[in-house]
Amino acid sequence: MAGNDVTMLKIAVLYPELLGTYGDGGNALVLASRARRRGVEVEVVQVALDEEIPDAQILLLGGGEDGPQRQATYGLAKDDTLAKRVNDGAVLLAVCAGFQLIGTSYEVEGGLHVEGLGLVESVTTRGAKRRVGDLLTRVGNRWMVGFENHGGETELGSNEVPLGVVEAGAGNGRFAGGARYVDGVRRGNIFGTYAHGPVLAQNPWFADELLTHALGRELEPLSSVADDLHRSRVREIGDFHDDVVDY
């Protein structure tokens, strides 16, 4: 699949009826638009709770409330299809509740600990306060902007690597070296984050990174108004000026 110079791209939005609270389904629209503008045929499918996960190049999990999150977890845990798709090369973007449920376990309101899917090693517990507000994260040499709204704090296992280091906001709500918060996780073709937005609409470079992995080739540059909006958001959230920040 990924890595084989794909010309027909399938994007699957998993359980949007449960994990569609914060508009993360818009990530599929961004990916489809940016792929089509480069001449790639795209099919976007919505996968309901009782449907099998298709053989798609990109799989998307969004955010949701505690009850629907548990339903989604139990549905995905019925078999190992999601793990098989990822192991076969599918790119997985998991946002907020989706990020929590692919981990080892997570805690919901009332103190119930729910076993996750174990695709990454992470434990989410209830934080002392809910994290709501703008999120700015350094991911490699790029800036990722978004909006977080979650009550959980996620601690990654010792072998896991965070997606990035937080400049503004809380992200996972756990510190890395230098007492900086980190956000998300990155393991191979798995990307997890607490950033809503939808995150790919606010970060066109991130959408292109996922497409590069899924299509198995470098993409030609694609300029859009989204790039200008991204730069504006980075400056605003980080209180930066153009002469002191790179994008």
Give me the active site residues, please.
96, 196
> In a 3-state reduction of DSSP, which class is residue 108?
coil
**Pairing, β 190-193 against β 185-187:** antiparallel
Give dist(CA 72, CA 16) in Å, integer. 10
Burial of 111 (0-12, 13-18, 19+ CB in 10 A): exposed
Give dist(CA 69, CA 18) in Å, integer. 7
Per-residue buried b or exposed e for 198-218, using 16+ beta carbons within 10 Å of the residue's own CB: bbbbbbbbbbbbbbebbbeee
User: Is the alpha carbon torsion for 226, 232, 238, 241 positive or negative?
Assistant: positive
**What angle (nearest 5°) sits at the alpha carbon of residue 72, between those of residues 71 and 75?**
85
Give me 80's structure tokens.
């190992």
Give dist(CA 147, CA 98) in Å, integer. 15
